């Protein structure tokens, strides 16, 4: 097997020196407006003594803000003399998307979290994925990739992790999930007929690295409550990993309810195009067959709306935000209790 | 003074016949993809016996859905034999914007609610404004134009009305505002240095017609709670006007708190561009000088965010939704109690 | 009444000198790619001795080619020593649209034939309209504006003229219509609830100038047969006006059938959006109530298509071309015999 | 050799159960407007008893309508109890292109019929190609992919097939070609220096599956005559394959003339850019050296047009439609008699 | 005559108070991404004691940088206690264009310097023009509007002024032109068949206010040499007007050569489209009939280029920059000596 | 190792016949506006007797004009009877980019000089790269690829070559560099942390073919002086290679100064976004630590600009042109003397 091809991205910061190192990943991009320019992806490396390495990322999707701000705040507030190990922080991972406030990159329409493991000679988004998968994840013992629902979805603030076959990794995964201390957490098998290939967590799994995720809110906005959960979760994960001392743990108001998302039966999709009216709210408990939403066609107001139903029982974890909806759009997804 | 120029829009429905008449306003639009086509703006006219005329409009901004759906539901549910007078319903007033789910028209970028009184030979949006101002409003005793916050704003569900100098109109206005039975209502002077010229309510004022508005939610979504407020409000306004019988009134859980929006001092604008973090929530009561929001620049995460402050005391009626923000964007506006 | 404002367009050719003068109308347009550039609208003026002036235009809509090519051929073939009077030829009247092959201008989306009388300080399209209306039409005794169906419509090759109240103009109009010698000709009242304001023929009527039009084919293409009709028609109109000698008249195979288009009852519009299947063909004779077209939704192939019907009897003069169709698109229009 | 990678597309319908199964292929597409949505490609599977499988596809190019409508009509009219075997129908194969009425996909500009064998992790268009090539074609004994000329070309309604080296497949191919009963049919070697790689028929050939094609008209429109040919052709192919009983065969008015397209010598390309004037019509018989078309430049009307000539003798099978033409555009292609 | 309509723009700064006042003009613009936002046009007002008022503007065209930077530097360096009178500075007059680095506004494609006197209810660009024409120019005794050649032109650094009929204004104009101390200056009649209506200097003339302009370089870039000329020019104009004391005058290396631009005969336009090769350079002295440029068509490299000639004698003041050129683009313009 | 896949591009010209052969590479591109069209990339092949083959290319970036025009002039002026060997000329290598005047292709956004070795089944740009790399370079003994700075950069007119490990190729490279006779030449290692992979010169190196490059000016314009250098350089390289006789050599005014570009320390990048003010000019000699540029924010004119510095000593070979600049844009690069 040939060695992985080399990324063309040049980091301005060292990964192996103690101290705080702030700068940019230089992703060279030769275009009409700038022949020899680079895309400056911000990065901060905190390193002190020995200990594990954690990779913290936000802005994987550009319209998800809790992670971007919590990580920027962490860059300004983390005291590197208190840590044992290394913290690598990238608050705007898909930089072009994050600057535009869009899920996907305005340069190449790439959805970074469907682009792993990427391509070192590919599009801008593929180059970012390749660098993360081949040059950052191999340095890490754990990754935390902070997401929210983005412009089209709204979540009950949640942490999430992939189901792990390996018992040690499963145990660490569950410990981190609980340490994050969001009101809700869920386990997912990845994909399950919903096209979720190409994710950062999948790339971490390929390298045997435990990955934690979050869905902290959504609707393309940032809320004070979700930001507090993100900041507490980051601190507590650093404590749980032993990078920060135990006294830095931020206590939670309540224990985390741990759910799972099983697969297609937990999703409701729009069967028609039109204006979507939800019939339940986030946090509701629903039954199979219960009406979930109506799709209206006010361009023909005298026509009856179509109705969508839940396929199974569960807890409403996520709902679609935008009123205008097309056939095939996800309207809701549920979680079901695990007893973990 | 010369008579107003003639609209080129052709309605398919009569305005002066008893019964229910559903069809389209034909706005002819000769373009590459269709040389002799028209834009079909849905309209329904319910008429029975004698009584006042009310003009009910939604979709003035295309990304505000409560009005579109409440009016479509009304078209399907209103029993014209129960009414006395006339109800003219247009659920998708700026039809191209409403089909696109955007505030402004994708055809001409027109913001319909800044385009009154319009132009019968102008752009598509100006032609709609002209028709409403010159052919619909003159038929009406009152207008109800249902808005929400749209894609960029979120409101406490509210009804609103312009301050009226004429005491009779002021009294009717207040009666309708209370009848609508939203949790909150507010009075506005129009404009006040915020560029609010060219509105439908301004056009109504020009004709001496009382106009009621609403801001039912926002964020480009539709919520069950806001829809219920809209539907109740519409019923109760029809009752208050005497078009529906008193027994059709839907009771409210609580009386409406009546505020006013005074002017520039009630608004907070972004002083820098970046990612906006609100520091208060809708419904909070705030003081002058209190921090309202921070603007972050996660592309340079080591840089401190800028802070915006409230200029006066008040109740947080409206906040900005999207995280990405530019200097000059409205972040919040307040209302203050009137004692009405 | 104030005098008309002055056009900013500068013609490179004289209108009052004998001979052949070819050049451009300079429409100055200061944009990013050219600060002091002009849009070069080609024009040719042929003048010899005394006699009437005719204004010949093509490319009013940029995707209609018979006129553009017949007029370009005429510029190269007309012997100015054989004429008595003046022939002004503009083969690409809406030059930006004609260069793009689109109905409307790519610069300002302007439909030139809905923009008369224009504005000397307005958009590019409005400036063209103003120049034609205020500087060319006043020079003319008659205008011939050659159209086809464009990208969205296909016509039986036809000449057309507006109904004229003045008997002298009506007689000249009919003589020119017959001289043009297309298989079919029709009279139209202009507008009739189909939004046809702002046309060149309307501007000619304002100045008391007789105008002839054509609809020579369509579908965004050029056919040899339609081009021959256009070229014969132009020659014969020059003969009929006395500008060319009688021996230049090109004989027709058959006399022209003269129809009229009465109004909305002659049009069929799509009541739904989808893929349009015509059920009749150009040249068919149809009855009121006869099915005209079906609108299919192959994205839901198990759903029945909608059917549209003719509202009146008539001869199928025009049909829509593109399969994808939106509610409100014109699918057909009919003509009815006049006995003229 | 490694097994083919797995498609991420999830069909809602079974392929191995008797009965009629209608639904969608779910092609998950995570974008700004819908994070967990899928593109719903309609599919119908008819299965009864034993017998061959035929794959019927339309909308491979989105602006070709006869196939889309003939297949949608077949979905509604086919009685599955009369069939022996299996009929798999996809009327809108490149769904995003078909909804837009464009040859290529508005999502990724992909030309599906140049994208085979595709990529299961690639663009939307590549994912469709991969699914067809690796999951549908292997189920089939024959494929029928219905095309027309699209927006830029017009054809004499034709069936077509690739030349087959294998005598059995060649014989079946010829039988199906004749059964289809179009006025004209032709054999093609594929490619021949015209860049026709990546087609569905090429993918079928890779799997040893006989493929039939059609070119039923074009110009981006649908004609009643071409639709009748498509519907008869589909029925007769089902009969010829033994899926429908012999009595279902629809008789043709005349036998099919079988031509071949040999290669570059049968094509005429534009040597300059401008407005294209064809000098012959579809169905004409032409000689080498005969003028085929003129390219005009009406922006400089006094300039002579360029002329293009036929390189060989033949029958005019196909012509370009749009007037505006660029150097390198195909203007015509010919067929020559085979005596088959 | 009715009073001018009221601008909807709200300035954050006072114009009548001593001191330095920095802030924004709030141009309210209600769009999808911000319903109640304003466009923040930066403005600084310096006022001290009595004396004349000068209006200094840059960024009228957004891709002209010397003015933007010279004025920003002046805002930071001007000591208001040294002035007598008032200096109003707007470095980014067409703010949306200046932020985009384009000649015209990305919002409405408006060329601000062709939009005067504007419209208070019109497009964003028209609203800016109206505010300047009706609220700023009437405050001023003189205006200085700093331009460069922009993206498409390059100038010998020049000052310019309109020819004035009034002898006092003509004298002041000439004094300011010389005070500005650019290597070259020129007088222009405005317009002259080159479509230069709607300018800021024209609006100043309407109010009887003397206006000075500049063309400091171009090519969409900023050079140190041109910036020095701009900064010296601004200082010296303030001295010449008596706003700054005489000792602040910056000496020039040489006296200014004063030319005039007479009209169409001084301009060379491209007669064909292609790649433009200049045959002379800025600062050359040329003769009528001398070849000015060649237009190449490397897409057909074996074809001879077209040649353009100078129509009159003169000094090459301005040349086109971009290689790709269209018929009608200005390639050069000349100045001729005045002896002033 | 499998043989390289076959390009789908079809050349109209032979490469192995004596004489002059002009025509096009046919790159078939099946799109909405032309189903069977090709992109016509102009090519000329001059061949006479025996001798080396040189490949001359321009328009690799579409906004660099000296090469396009020098090569078009060479096509028209080269007397093939004077040559010994073969000259292959492509003046518009990335044809779609060159027709648009943009660095990258408007079809696929491809930067051809970052796309080597390309893909025969890939995008249009990748297909061009593949054809050059696999079908043209293998025919050549040397390549000359003429570049300028394009729209975003301006260079001191320079020739350049890659450093060669092989001493014979290094010697030939140096001879050609000197023969080209530009005022300046430089050696480069390729890439050096600036993302310069995928170039034509890299593809030549892979085949062991010596490649010469140039950077002749820039700013998206063409200057007479740079064109003369290009034309002399081409002649002299043909002489140096022995293709043209020695008497055809064009003498240079001065010998070439030979520099090298070492790597990241020779580049200055923008650390902030804004308007860029250079503080040095092309041709200056600078020191490490010297201020190179300021980045202004005139939208906040009272804010101090940021300053960028040179990292090392050197000669200013290249500067950025456009005023509007983003963080990461290259502002300058230096060369340092080699003593060669």
Of D1, E58, F336, D65, residue with least CA distance to C323: D65
- Residue A81: left if φ>0, alpha if ψ -120 to 50, beta else—which one? alpha
Radius of gyration of chain A (CA): 20
pLDDT (mean) for B282-293: 98
- Give the contacts of C287 (CB within 8 A, at least 6 positions apart): C310, C313
* Residues of chain F neighbouring E222 (CB-CB closer than 8 A): 275-278, 323
Q: Closest partner residue to E35 among B109, B153, B328, by Cβ?
A: B153
Angstrom distance (rounded) from CA A91 to CA A68: 5
Report domain extents, chain F: 10-261, 265-337
Do the beta carbons of residue F33 and residue F3 sit within 8 Å?
no
* Residues of chain C neighbouring B95 (CB-CB closer than 8 A): none
Q: Which chains touch C (3 or more CB pairs under 8 A)?
A: B, D, E
Do the beta carbons of residue C296 and residue D99 sit within 8 Å?
no
Q: Which CATH number fits domain B265-337: 3.40.1800.10, 2.40.50.100, 2.60.15.10, 1.10.287.70?
A: 2.40.50.100
Element (H, E) at D31: none
pLDDT in tens, D39-57: 999 999 999 999 999 999 9
Which positions in chain B have a beta carbon within 8 angstroms of at least one beta carbon in chain C?
8, 10, 24, 26-40, 108, 121
Q: How far apart are the first and last CA of chain D?
A: 41
Q: Do F10 and D267 touch (CB under 8 A)?
A: no
Q: Which residue of E has its CA nearest to C41?
A: E328
Q: Which residue of C has its CA nearest to D296?
A: C69
For C264, other C-beta atoms within 10 Å of its C-beta total 15
Q: What is the dihedral of CA C83, C87, C92, C94, to 10 degrees?
A: -170
Q: Closest partner residue to A63 among D24, D32, D37, by Cβ?
A: D32
Task: Give the pLDDT confidence score for residue C48 in this predicted structure.
Answer: 97
Angstrom distance (rounded) from CA A180 to CA A233: 4
Per the prediction, chain D carries an average pLDDT of 95
Q: Do A35 and F198 touch (CB under 8 A)?
A: no
Element (H, E) at E125: helix E124-131
Q: Which chains touch F (3 or more CB pairs under 8 A)?
A: A, D, E
Which positions in chain E have a beta carbon within 8 angstroms of at least one beta carbon in chain C?
61, 63, 102-104, 109, 111, 113-114, 149-153, 193-198, 264, 267, 269, 320, 322, 326-330, 333
CA distance C331 to chain B (A): 9
* Residues of chain D neighbouring C331 (CB-CB closer than 8 A): none
pLDDT in tens, A50-62: 999 999 999 999 9
Angstrom distance (rounded) from CA A287 to CA A303: 28
Q: Do C197 and B121 touch (CB under 8 A)?
A: yes
Do the beta carbons of residue A125 and residue A108 sit within 8 Å?
yes
Q: Do F32 and D152 touch (CB under 8 A)?
A: yes
pLDDT (mean) for B150-159: 97
Q: Closest partner residue to B151 among E24, E32, E38, by Cβ?
A: E32
pLDDT (mean) for A311-325: 97
Of A294, A285, A287, A340, residue with least CA distance to A317: A285
Say whether pLDDT at D4 is over 90: no
Please check whether the domain covering A10-261 is classified as CATH 3.40.630.10.
yes
The 8-class DSSP code of residue C102 comes to: -
Which of E199, E322, E328, E330 is the best residue to mutate to test the C interface, defined by the most C CB atoms within 10 Å of its own CB? E328
Angstrom distance (rounded) from CA C313 to CA C291: 12
As for the ipTM of the complex, it is 0.95
Q: Do A30 and F264 touch (CB under 8 A)?
A: no
CA distance A117 to chain F (A): 20
Radius of gyration of chain C (CA): 20
Q: What is the dihedral of CA D246, D249, D254, D257, to 10 degrees?
A: -80
* Residues of chain F neighbouring D267 (CB-CB closer than 8 A): 36
How many C×D Cβ pairs under 8 Å? 138
- Give the contacts of B285 (CB within 8 A, at least 6 positions apart): B313, B314, B315, B316
Which of B37, B41, B105 is the best residue to mutate to test the C interface, defined by the most C CB atoms within 10 Å of its own CB? B37
Element (H, E) at E292: strand E291-296
Give me the percent of chain C exceeding a pLDDT of 70.
Answer: 97
Q: Do C36 and E330 touch (CB under 8 A)?
A: yes
pLDDT (mean) for C136-157: 98
The angle formed by the CA atoms of residues D263, D268 and D269, to the nearest 5 degrees, is 115
* Residues of chain D neighbouring C68 (CB-CB closer than 8 A): 275, 296, 298, 323
Task: Give the pLDDT confidence score for residue B1 in this predicted structure.
Answer: 46
Which positions in chain D have a beta carbon within 8 angstroms of at least one beta carbon in chain F?
61, 63, 102-104, 109, 111, 113-114, 149-153, 193-198, 264, 267, 269, 320, 322, 326-330, 333
pLDDT in tens, B37-62: 999 999 999 999 999 999 999 999 99
Residue D143, CB-side half-sphere exposure with 13 Å CA sphere: 30
Angstrom distance (rounded) from CA F25 to CA F131: 10
Task: Give the pLDDT confidence score for residue C192 in this predicted structure.
Answer: 53
Phi, psi of D53 (to 5 degrees): -110, 135
pTM of the model: 0.96
Task: Give the pLDDT confidence score for residue F164 in this predicted structure.
Answer: 87
Of E329, D328, D135, residue with least CA distance to C40: E329
Angstrom distance (rounded) from CA A140 to CA A54: 5
Angstrom distance (rounded) from CA C7 to CA C120: 5
- Give the contacts of D287 (CB within 8 A, at least 6 positions apart): D310, D313
pLDDT in tens, D112-152: 999 999 999 999 999 999 999 999 999 999 999 999 999 99
Q: Which chains touch A (3 or more CB pairs under 8 A)?
A: B, D, F
Sign of CA dihedral C200, C202, C204, C209: positive
Q: Do C104 and B34 touch (CB under 8 A)?
A: no
| pLDDT tens for chain E, residues 1 to 340 | 466 789 999 999 999 999 999 999 999 999 999 999 999 999 999 999 999 999 999 999 999 999 999 999 999 999 999 999 999 999 999 999 999 999 999 999 999 999 999 999 999 999 999 999 999 999 999 999 999 999 999 999 999 999 888 999 999 999 999 999 999 999 998 655 566 689 999 999 999 999 999 999 999 999 999 999 999 999 999 999 999 999 999 999 889 999 999 989 999 999 999 999 999 999 999 999 999 999 999 999 999 999 999 999 999 999 999 999 999 999 999 999 998 8
Which residues lie across from B41 on neighbouring strands? B25
pLDDT in tens, C271-282: 999 999 999 999
Strands of the sheet with B291-296, listed across from one edge: B306-309, B291-296, B274-278, B324-325
Which residues lie across from A11 on neighbouring strands? A25
Say whether pLDDT at B192 is over 80: no
Q: Which residue of C has its CA nearest to B37?
A: C329
pLDDT in tens, C200-213: 999 999 999 999 99
Higher model confidence: residue A112 or residue D262?
Answer: A112
CA distance B41 to chain C (A): 10
Q: Return contacts of D122-127, CB within 8 angstroms, 24+ apart.
A: D124/D27, D124/D29, D124/D39, D124/D96, D125/D94, D127/D7, D127/D8, D127/D9, D127/D27
């Amino acid at each position: 097997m040939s060695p992985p091809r080399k990324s063309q991205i040049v980091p301005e910061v060292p990964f192996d020196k103690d101290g705080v190192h702030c700068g940019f990943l230089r992703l060279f991009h030769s275009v009409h407006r700038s022949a020899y320019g680079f895309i400056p992806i911000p990065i901060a490396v905190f390193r002190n003594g020995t200990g594990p390495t954690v990779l913290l990322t936000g802005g994987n999707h550009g319209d998800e803000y809790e992670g971007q701000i919590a990580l920027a705040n962490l860059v300004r507030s983390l005291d590197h003399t208190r840590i044992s190990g290394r913290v690598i922080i990238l608050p705007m991972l898909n930089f072009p998307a994050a600057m535009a406030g869009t899920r996907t990159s305005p340069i190449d329409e790439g959805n970074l979290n469907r682009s792993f493991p990427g391509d070192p000679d590919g599009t801008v988004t593929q180059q970012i994925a390749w660098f993360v998968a081949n040059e950052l994840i191999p340095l890490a013992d754990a990754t935390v990739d902070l997401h929210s629902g983005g412009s089209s979805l709204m979540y009950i603030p949640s942490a999430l992790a992939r189901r792990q076959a390996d018992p040690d990794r499963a145990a660490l995964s569950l410990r981190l999930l609980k340490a994050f201390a969001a009101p809700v957490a869920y386990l997912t098998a990845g994909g399950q007929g919903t096209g979720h290939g190409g994710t950062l967590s999948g790339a971490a799994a390929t390298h045997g690295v435990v990955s934690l995720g979050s869905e902290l809110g959504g609707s393309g906005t940032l809320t004070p409550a979700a930001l507090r959960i993100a900041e507490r979760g980051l601190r507590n994960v650093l404590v749980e990993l032993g990078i920060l001392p135990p006294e830095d743990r931020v206590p939670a108001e309540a224990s985390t309810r741990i759910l799972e998302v099983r697969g297609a039966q937990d999703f409701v999709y729009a069967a028609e195009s039109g204006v979507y009216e939800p019939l339940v709210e986030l946090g509701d408990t629903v039954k199979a067959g219960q009406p979930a939403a109506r799709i209206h066609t006010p361009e023909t107001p005298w026509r009856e709306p179509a109705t969508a139903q839940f396929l199974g029982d569960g807890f409403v974890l996520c709902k679609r935000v935008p009123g205008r909806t097309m056939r095939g759009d996800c309207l809701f997804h549920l979680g079901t209790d695990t007893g973990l």
